[in-house]
Amino acid sequence: MGLHFGRLAAAALIAAAGLVVGMPSLRAANLDDACGGPEKITCNSALFCRKEAGQCGVADAKGTCEKAPAFCIRIHRPVCGCNGKTYPNECEARHVKVAVDYTGPCKKAPGAAEPKPEKSPATKKKKSSK
Protein backbone atom coordinates (compact mmCIF):
# COMPACT_ATOMS: atom_id res chain seq x y z
CA MET A 1 0.00 0.00 0.00
CA GLY A 2 2.82 2.44 0.91
CA LEU A 3 4.68 1.78 -2.36
CA HIS A 4 1.54 2.36 -4.44
CA PHE A 5 0.79 5.64 -2.63
CA GLY A 6 4.40 6.76 -3.11
CA ARG A 7 4.19 6.26 -6.89
CA LEU A 8 0.91 8.17 -7.09
CA ALA A 9 2.34 11.02 -5.03
CA ALA A 10 5.47 11.18 -7.22
CA ALA A 11 3.35 11.18 -10.40
CA ALA A 12 1.19 14.00 -9.02
CA LEU A 13 4.25 16.09 -8.13
CA ILE A 14 5.79 15.60 -11.58
CA ALA A 15 2.52 16.55 -13.30
CA ALA A 16 2.01 19.62 -11.07
CA ALA A 17 5.53 20.82 -11.80
CA GLY A 18 5.00 20.38 -15.56
CA LEU A 19 8.07 18.17 -15.83
CA VAL A 20 6.61 15.84 -18.43
CA VAL A 21 8.02 17.03 -21.76
CA GLY A 22 5.34 18.07 -24.22
CA MET A 23 2.64 18.24 -21.56
CA PRO A 24 1.19 21.64 -20.66
CA SER A 25 1.68 22.66 -17.05
CA LEU A 26 -1.34 22.07 -14.83
CA ARG A 27 -0.80 25.34 -12.97
CA ALA A 28 -1.32 28.86 -14.22
CA ALA A 29 1.66 31.17 -13.82
CA ASN A 30 1.40 34.40 -11.82
CA LEU A 31 2.71 37.94 -12.36
CA ASP A 32 6.39 38.00 -13.42
CA ASP A 33 6.54 34.17 -13.69
CA ALA A 34 7.97 32.53 -16.80
CA CYS A 35 5.45 31.33 -19.37
CA GLY A 36 5.48 29.49 -22.69
CA GLY A 37 8.57 27.38 -23.33
CA PRO A 38 8.61 23.64 -23.96
CA GLU A 39 6.38 23.21 -20.89
CA LYS A 40 3.73 25.44 -22.54
CA ILE A 41 3.10 27.24 -19.24
CA THR A 42 0.10 29.56 -19.40
CA CYS A 43 -0.51 32.69 -17.34
CA ASN A 44 -3.54 33.02 -15.09
CA SER A 45 -6.58 34.60 -16.76
CA ALA A 46 -5.83 38.13 -15.49
CA LEU A 47 -2.42 38.12 -17.24
CA PHE A 48 -0.90 37.45 -20.66
CA CYS A 49 2.40 35.93 -21.77
CA ARG A 50 4.62 38.73 -23.08
CA LYS A 51 7.38 37.38 -25.30
CA GLU A 52 10.38 39.27 -26.62
CA ALA A 53 9.89 40.97 -29.99
CA GLY A 54 10.42 38.57 -32.86
CA GLN A 55 9.54 35.49 -30.78
CA CYS A 56 5.97 35.11 -32.03
CA GLY A 57 5.52 31.75 -33.69
CA VAL A 58 8.89 30.49 -32.40
CA ALA A 59 8.38 27.01 -30.99
CA ASP A 60 9.13 26.83 -27.27
CA ALA A 61 9.71 30.61 -26.96
CA LYS A 62 9.52 31.75 -23.35
CA GLY A 63 7.98 34.92 -22.01
CA THR A 64 6.93 36.58 -18.77
CA CYS A 65 3.42 36.86 -17.34
CA GLU A 66 2.31 40.51 -17.31
CA LYS A 67 -0.78 42.51 -16.45
CA ALA A 68 -2.53 44.21 -19.34
CA PRO A 69 -2.57 48.00 -18.90
CA ALA A 70 -5.97 49.44 -17.96
CA PHE A 71 -5.61 52.42 -20.30
CA CYS A 72 -3.12 53.85 -22.80
CA ILE A 73 -2.16 57.32 -23.97
CA ARG A 74 -2.65 58.25 -27.60
CA ILE A 75 0.71 57.80 -29.29
CA HIS A 76 0.95 56.65 -32.90
CA ARG A 77 3.83 54.16 -33.07
CA PRO A 78 2.31 51.16 -34.86
CA VAL A 79 3.31 47.65 -33.85
CA CYS A 80 2.42 44.24 -35.23
CA GLY A 81 0.88 41.91 -32.66
CA CYS A 82 1.60 38.19 -32.45
CA ASN A 83 -1.96 37.72 -33.74
CA GLY A 84 -1.03 39.41 -37.05
CA LYS A 85 -3.01 42.60 -36.31
CA THR A 86 -1.63 46.13 -36.33
CA TYR A 87 -2.06 48.19 -33.14
CA PRO A 88 -1.51 51.97 -32.75
CA ASN A 89 1.24 51.31 -30.16
CA GLU A 90 2.65 48.64 -27.83
CA CYS A 91 0.37 49.65 -24.95
CA GLU A 92 -2.73 49.13 -27.12
CA ALA A 93 -1.57 45.61 -28.01
CA ARG A 94 -0.82 44.76 -24.37
CA HIS A 95 -4.20 46.24 -23.34
CA VAL A 96 -5.93 43.43 -25.26
CA LYS A 97 -3.37 40.85 -23.99
CA VAL A 98 -1.42 40.53 -27.25
CA ALA A 99 2.38 40.37 -27.32
CA VAL A 100 4.20 42.48 -29.93
CA ASP A 101 6.00 40.71 -32.77
CA TYR A 102 7.76 43.76 -34.23
CA THR A 103 7.64 47.55 -34.54
CA GLY A 104 5.68 48.86 -37.49
CA PRO A 105 2.43 47.85 -39.11
CA CYS A 106 1.90 44.18 -39.91
CA LYS A 107 3.09 43.24 -43.36
CA LYS A 108 0.41 41.77 -45.53
CA ALA A 109 0.83 38.32 -47.00
CA PRO A 110 1.03 38.17 -50.82
CA GLY A 111 -2.51 38.39 -52.22
CA ALA A 112 -4.03 39.25 -48.83
CA ALA A 113 -5.98 42.38 -47.99
CA GLU A 114 -4.15 45.14 -46.15
CA PRO A 115 -4.48 44.52 -42.38
CA LYS A 116 -6.59 47.12 -40.57
CA PRO A 117 -5.36 48.62 -37.31
CA GLU A 118 -7.12 47.35 -34.18
CA LYS A 119 -9.20 49.81 -32.21
CA SER A 120 -8.81 49.47 -28.49
CA PRO A 121 -11.24 50.61 -25.81
CA ALA A 122 -8.19 51.87 -23.93
CA THR A 123 -8.00 55.11 -25.93
CA LYS A 124 -11.50 55.59 -27.36
CA LYS A 125 -12.63 59.19 -27.18
CA LYS A 126 -15.51 59.97 -24.88
CA LYS A 127 -18.42 61.78 -26.51
CA SER A 128 -18.98 65.15 -24.94
CA SER A 129 -22.50 66.08 -23.90
CA LYS A 130 -23.75 69.55 -24.72
* Predicted confidence (pLDDT) per residue in 36-75, tens digit: 989 889 998 889 898 888 888 888 899 999 999 999 999 9
pTM: 0.60
Predicted pLDDT of residue 6? 53
Predicted pLDDT of residue 58? 87
The structural domains of the chain, with segments of one domain joined by +, span: 20-67, 69-116
Q: Which fold has domain 69-116?
A: Wheat Germ Agglutinin (Isolectin 2); domain 1 (3.30.60)
Q: Choose between 95 and 23: higher pLDDT.
A: 95
> Which residue intervals of the chain are DSSP H helices?
2-17, 90-95
Cβ atoms of residues 98 and 83 within 8 Å: yes
